[in-house]
């Protein structure tokens, strides 16, 4: 019996030893290739060559920002280089693929197969997810459907399986707005390390106590050569090395593969603060629906119904009274742009390369227009005509009843995400190509094109929804400049950097004032009647650092605004006095749709749809 026992013990040791064999993998991040730019191309090519020449590397992981502007051509360049690896690689997008993307981030999956990955190697589970943000300028966000996927896959793997988790952003406040949803989802399992990039340097962090590391960029930066991370997994540790091209690897971190490595309780770690809701009890949620998918656009309202598109490609109709879903129609890919509804027709574009017209009462398809690229633009309807731009360098005017294209302008140099402005005889919109366009409303012929300021698409007035009054068009761009443009000539009337606004502008109901969010705490108000930038008031709302393109909207003397971290607020339109605040979740709230000064529809990136009710009689003394 003793001899048999010893034999079984030796066999067990052999089995354990084989499952816990040492292995190495390469970790690449922040590659930032632009097609035609030889420096980042050569940095990646040299990394690929060195990985192939390094013995023992069994696979590679790539954690995003592989391109500079998220275009398909650059992604295909990256793929052509990564395909030279002698080992398999697993890849997720970064914010440069998700924020600037003419395809609405759909090209990433077309090129690489998926926006997330899961695989097992030598008994260790590796998982990676997209951490956004999709199109909008905001904090990172892990989609609710991805969090559900994480929970499902970890549950399948079991609580003993060691897991290495990969994102692009660090999972911490200020980087990912719903970091806590992710850390709470993975905490019950055997997470050994969370790996990422984004900051282009090594940083050892903790995500609500869970060990994390950020790794160097593949770019050479100010050095002579670039590099990547070489990771060695042993039965008891994972070691992270920096491997500069042509150099010997140097250790940057070491993490345990055994035992408890973080608290199993989330107690004591920071969470979003909702105390503002107690400060302003006059605001409540009449109803709130959780769609289960990311939402990137504002709601559309017509005939007591609310229309919302989401990341699953569905557009759904809800009762404005109680939030009950009336119907849902499914396109083939995510919906980015805000829909519009009128005359019992709802119109929207989809990343599936179609523009749709549906019966607004029951969701039946009335017509569909196929385009040559994803359609990310928001819709404006005037007098039975829908105006919408796409990523096929075209802007269209469509009869909403028949689906007939009235005219099409094909002179757009970039892609369109904004909501077009119809003003007098013009249709005005920006694109990610530096230009603001003004077209003849009836014919679609170009009247003027405007650009001023820094060159390049990153400074385009492309996310802002323009407004106009008193012969002037008003925009705010990523250069932190508020601008007035002569509507008839396209010439600049004035520009000001005084208030450091970014990509937001709203118009008063009497058309005498415009509003814009600054990038720190405040909303500012300027006159529309003067030929110079006359500031009327500035209000410290106290929302902190802010850069989300959600527009201020005035209704019945109240300016409604929202932020990237779930806060909504109301200001007195004439003085800027803060009337109320309310926080729903911690993700971006898109441009609000006030129905009156007492009621307001909202959508959030986290998938929430709801109706706020404000009772101004409560706390009237404040």
For 156-186, the pLDDT digits (tens) are: 999 999 999 999 999 999 999 999 999 999 9
**194-198, 250-254, 451-455: lowest mean pLDDT where?**
451-455
Q: In terms of Cα–Cα distance, which of 20, 90, 474 is closest to 238?
A: 20
- 559: its two tokens: 């300016």
**Which contacts qualify for 483-487: CB closer than 8 Å, 24 or more apart?**
483/452, 484/528, 484/531, 484/533, 485/436, 485/450, 487/423, 487/424, 487/426, 487/428, 487/438
3-class secondary-structure state, position 155: helix
Contact 569, 562 (CB under 8 A): yes
State residue 14's pLDDT score. Answer: 35
State residue 194's pLDDT score. Answer: 98
State residue 21's pLDDT score. Answer: 53
Convert the pLDDT of each residue in 400-446 to its tens digit.
999 999 999 999 999 999 999 999 999 999 999 999 999 999 999 99
Convert the pLDDT of each residue in 7-25 to its tens digit.
333 333 333 333 455 999 9
Residue 365 CA: distances (Å) to CA of 328, 344, 358, 465, 509: 11, 12, 5, 28, 35
| Prediction pTM value | 0.93
Contact 355, 347 (CB under 8 A): yes
Give the span between the Cα atoms of 502 and 520, in whole angstroms.
Answer: 10
Band (620; pLDDT cuts 50, 70, 90): low
Give the span between the Cα atoms of 154 and 360, in whole angstroms.
Answer: 41
State residue 90's pLDDT score. Answer: 98
Give 3-27 as a 3 state SS string.
HHHHHHHHHHHHHHHHHCCCEEEEE
- 374: its two tokens: 């994803």
- 214: its two tokens: 């950020």
Convert the pLDDT of each residue in 441-469 to its tens digit.
999 999 999 999 888 888 999 999 999 99
The residues facing 23 across adjacent strands are: 233
Residue 6, classified by CB atoms within 10 Å of its CB into exposed (0-12), middle (13-18) or buried (19+), is: exposed
State residue 456's pLDDT score. Answer: 81
Residue 85 CA: distances (Å) to CA of 25, 46, 241, 372: 12, 11, 19, 33
Question: Beta 380-382 vs 385-389: how paired, if at all?
Answer: antiparallel
* Terminal Cα distance for the chain, rounded: 84
The residues facing 485 across adjacent strands are: 473, 492
Q: What are phi and psi of 230, to 5 degrees?
A: -105, 125
Contact 398, 386 (CB under 8 A): yes
Band (618; pLDDT cuts 50, 70, 90): confident
Give the span between the Cα atoms of 252 and 221, in whole angstroms.
Answer: 19
Judge whether residue 305 has pLDDT over 90.
Answer: yes
Give the span between the Cα atoms of 622 and 620, in whole angstroms.
Answer: 6
Band (549; pLDDT cuts 50, 70, 90): very high
Give the span between the Cα atoms of 71 and 457, in whole angstroms.
Answer: 12
The residues facing 589 across adjacent strands are: 604
Give the span between the Cα atoms of 80 and 296, in whole angstroms.
Answer: 31
3-class secondary-structure state, position 244: strand
In the block, tokens 């307001």 appear at: 600
When pLDDT is averaged across residues 573-599 and rounded to a whole number, the result is 98
Convert the pLDDT of each residue in 483-516 to its tens digit.
999 999 999 999 999 999 999 999 999 999 999 9
Angle at 256 between CA 255 and CA 260, to 5 degrees: 125
Concatenated DSSP letters for 351-363? TTTEEEEEETTT-
The residues facing 593 across adjacent strands are: 601
DSSP-assigned letter for residue 520: E
* Domains of the chain, each with CATH number or no CATH: 20-256 (3.60.21.10)
State residue 4's pLDDT score. Answer: 33
Give the span between the Cα atoms of 514 and 522, in whole angstroms.
Answer: 14
């Amino acid at each position: 019996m003793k001899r048999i026992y010893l034999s079984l013990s030796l066999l067990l040791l052999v089995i354990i030893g084989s499952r816990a064999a040492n292995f190495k993998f390469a970790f690449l991040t922040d590659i930032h290739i632009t097609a035609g730019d030889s420096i980042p191309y050569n940095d990646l090519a040299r990394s690929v060559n060195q990985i192939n020449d390094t013995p023992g590397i069994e696979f590679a992981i790539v954690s995003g920002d592989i391109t500079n502007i998220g275009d398909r051509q650059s992604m295909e360049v990256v793929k052509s280089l990564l395909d030279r690896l002698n080992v398999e690689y697993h890849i997720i997008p970064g914010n440069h693929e998700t924020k600037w993307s003419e395809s609405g981030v759909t090209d990433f999956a077309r090129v690489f197969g998926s926006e997330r990955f899961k695989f097992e190697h030598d008994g260790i589970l590796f998982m990676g997810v997209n951490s956004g943000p999709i199109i909008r300028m905001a904090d990172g966000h892990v989609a609710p459907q991805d969090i559900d996927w994480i929970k499902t896959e970890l549950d399948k793997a079991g609580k003993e399986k060691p897991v290495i988790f990969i994102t692009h952003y660090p999972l911490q406040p200020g980087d990912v707005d719903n970091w806590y949803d992710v850390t709470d989802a993975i905490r019950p399992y055997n997470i050994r390390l969370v790996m990422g990039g984004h900051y282009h340097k090594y940083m050892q962090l903790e995500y609500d106590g869970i060990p994390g590391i950020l790794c160097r960029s593949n770019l050479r930066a100010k050095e002579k050569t670039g590099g990547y991370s070489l990771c060695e997994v042993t039965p008891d540790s994972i070691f992270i090395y920096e491997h500069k091209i042509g150099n010997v690897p140097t250790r940057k971190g070491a993490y345990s593969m055994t035992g408890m490595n973080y608290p199993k309780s989330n107690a004591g770690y920071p969470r979003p603060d909702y105390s503002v809701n107690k400060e302003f009890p006059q605001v409540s949620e009449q109803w709130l629906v959780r769609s289960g998918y990311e939402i990137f656009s504002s709601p559309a309202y017509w005939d007591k119904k609310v229309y919302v598109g989401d990341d699953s490609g569905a557009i759904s109709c809800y009762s404005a009274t109680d939030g009950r879903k009336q119907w849902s129609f499914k396109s083939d890919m995510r919906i980015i742009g805000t829909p519009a509804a009128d005359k019992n027709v709802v119109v929207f574009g989809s990343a599936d390369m179609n523009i749709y017209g549906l019966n607004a009462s029951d969701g039946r398809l009335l017509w569909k227009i196929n385009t040559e690229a994803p359609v990310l633009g928001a819709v404006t309807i005037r007098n039975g005509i829908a105006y919408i731009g796409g990523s096929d360098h075209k802007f269209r005017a469509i009869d909403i009843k028949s689906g007939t294209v009235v005219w099409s302008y094909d002179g757009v140099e970039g892609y369109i995400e904004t909501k077009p402005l119809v003003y007098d005889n013009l249709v005005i919109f920006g694109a990610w190509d530096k230009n603001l366009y003004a077209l003849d409303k009836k014919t679609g012929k170009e009247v003027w094109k405007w650009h001023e300021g820094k060159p390049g698409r990153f400074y385009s007035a492309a996310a802002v929804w323009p407004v106009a009054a008193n012969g002037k068009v008003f925009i705010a761009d990523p250069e932190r400049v508020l601008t007035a443009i002569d509507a008839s000539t396209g010439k600049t009337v004035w520009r000001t950097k005084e208030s450091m606004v970014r990509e937001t502008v709203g118009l008063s109901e009497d058309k005498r004032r415009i509003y814009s969010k600054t990038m720190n705490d405040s909303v500012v108000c300027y006159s529309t009647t003067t030929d110079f930038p006359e500031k009327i008031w500035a209000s410290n709302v106290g929302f902190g650092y802010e850069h989300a393109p959600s527009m201020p909207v005035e209704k019945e003397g109240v300016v409604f605004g929202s932020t990237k971290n779930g806060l909504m607020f109301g200001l007195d339109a004439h003085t800027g006095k803060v009337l109320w605040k309310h926080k729903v979740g911690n993700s971006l709230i898109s441009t609000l749709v006030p129905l009156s000064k007492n009621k307001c529809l909202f959508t959030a990136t986290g998938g929430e749809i709801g109706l706020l009710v404000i009772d101004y009689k409560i706390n009237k003394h404040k």
